[in-house]
Amino acid sequence: MMDNHSSATEFHLLGFPGSQESHQILFAVFFFFYLVTLMGNTVIIVIVCVDKRLQSPMYFFLGHLSALEILITTIIVPMMLWGLLLPGMQTVSLSACIAQLFLYLAVGTTEFALLGAMAVDRYVAVCNPLRYNIIMNSSTCIWVVVVSWVFGFLSEIWPVYATFQFTFCKSNSLDHFYCDRGQLLKLSCDNTLFTEFIIFLMAVVILFGSLIPTIVSYTYIISTILKIPSASGRRKAFSTCASHFTCVVIGYGSCLFLYVKPKQTQGAEYNKIVSLLVSVLTPFLNPFIFTLRNDKVKEALQDGAKRCCQLLKD
């Protein structure tokens, strides 16, 4: 505990409750998830870069989405794993806490902007196929990705700055496995209600600002697919959108529960569970979602595996 006139210069992450044995089991599980996430998303980035069959806007965006998934899990999981190995509380400096929270929120916001752009890309591909290559040309794709990254990082400067303007004098123990904003605000002796409300409004604008184009795009996509006369044509059109749609449902569903709430200082256990969905489960599932449902990606992976086997034999 701290006195009422000083602010924390470092924080102790309480992490997960339980015995050392349960921590070791959690470490093994999360370490496995992390390795698979790194390998799976890296493989997607590599095949998108080297395979000519995947040189299209859809896979260009997919490569950047995989890079974002690697970043968002790497910002959180290594610190979480280190905390599971330590016998006591994990200490994090104020500057490291600021950097982690900012990068986590900025990369997450960038991902939502990119998911919205991918929905529009699928709309053009299904509803306006003859003009697809003209509308979604290389310069447009690069511009969309750059804007997504810039928007993601610029939009989170003020919320993180405002969070760390408060005096954290109640305690310096954070009941979380990373520097969660809600748990940080719980430690403040100041009145945080106005800042929490502004942050809530910003979260609503960011999430729904990218969700609305997705909903509109898929409304037109579904309408167009239903008008296709042949069952095989409908199935082929739907398969080009199924992976992205699955990713949208998982990503938006978990983040709506985590961030779009007026009171940021919600229960620690609730925040931990939803944070695990965002930072561990979603990046882990991403490679499987896009490989198991996409014939071109599966073919590229199979050809890559055959080349590797031939190289090993030679």
The predicted-structure confidence for 88-127, as pLDDT tens digits, reads as follows 778 889 899 999 999 999 999 999 899 889 889 988 988 8
pLDDT tens for each residue of 200-210: 888 888 888 88
Instruction: Report the DSSP pairing between strands 173-174 and 10-13.
Output: parallel
> How many domains does the chain divide into?
1
Q: Within its chain, how far is the Cα of 256 from the centroid? A: 13
Among 30-34, 114-118, 209-213, 301-305, the least confident range: 301-305
Q: What is the CATH number of the domain that holds 197?
A: 1.20.1070.10
199: pLDDT strictly greater than 80: yes
pLDDT top residue among 253 and 74: 74
Phi, psi of 55 (to 5 degrees): -90, 70
Q: Judge whether 91 lies within some domain.
A: yes
pTM, full prediction: 0.86
Q: Judge whether 87 lies within some domain.
A: yes
Q: Judge whether 293 lies within some domain.
A: yes
Q: How much of the chain exceeds pLDDT 90, in percent?
A: 26
- Which pLDDT band holds residue 232 (cuts at 50, 70, 90)? confident
pLDDT at 98: 92
pLDDT, averaged across the chain: 83
266: pLDDT strictly greater than 60: no
pLDDT at 218: 85
pLDDT at 156: 92
Phi, psi of 6 (to 5 degrees): -125, 155
Q: Judge whether 309 lies within some domain.
A: yes
Q: Which residues contact 88 (CB under 8 A, 6 or more apart)?
A: none
255 touches 278 (CB < 8 A): yes
Segments forming the whole domain that contains residue 140: 10-313
Among residues 35, 313, 84, 77, the alpha carbon closest in space to that of 178 is found at 77
Q: Judge whether 5 lies within some domain.
A: no
Give the residues across from 12 on adjacent strands: 91, 173
Q: Judge whether 3 lies within some domain.
A: no
Average pLDDT for 23-33: 93
2: pLDDT strictly greater than 60: no
pLDDT at 76: 93
- Which pLDDT band holds residue 8 (cuts at 50, 70, 90)? confident
Q: And the tokens for 26?
A: 């959690």
Q: Judge whether 2 lies within some domain.
A: no
301: pLDDT strictly greater than 80: no
13 touches 92 (CB < 8 A): yes
| Whole-Å CA distances, 177 to 181, 199, 259 | 12, 22, 17
Q: Within its chain, how far is the Cα of 15 from the centroid? A: 21
Q: How much of the chain exceeds pLDDT 70, in percent?
A: 88
Among residues 50, 127, 73, the alpha carbon closest in space to that of 283 is found at 73
pLDDT at 1: 47
pLDDT tens for each residue of 148-193: 999 999 999 999 999 898 888 877 888 888 888 888 888 888 888 8
72 touches 275 (CB < 8 A): no
pLDDT at 292: 64
* Cα–Cα dist 104/279, whole Å: 9
Q: Amino acid identity of 14?
A: L
Q: Judge whether 258 lies within some domain.
A: yes
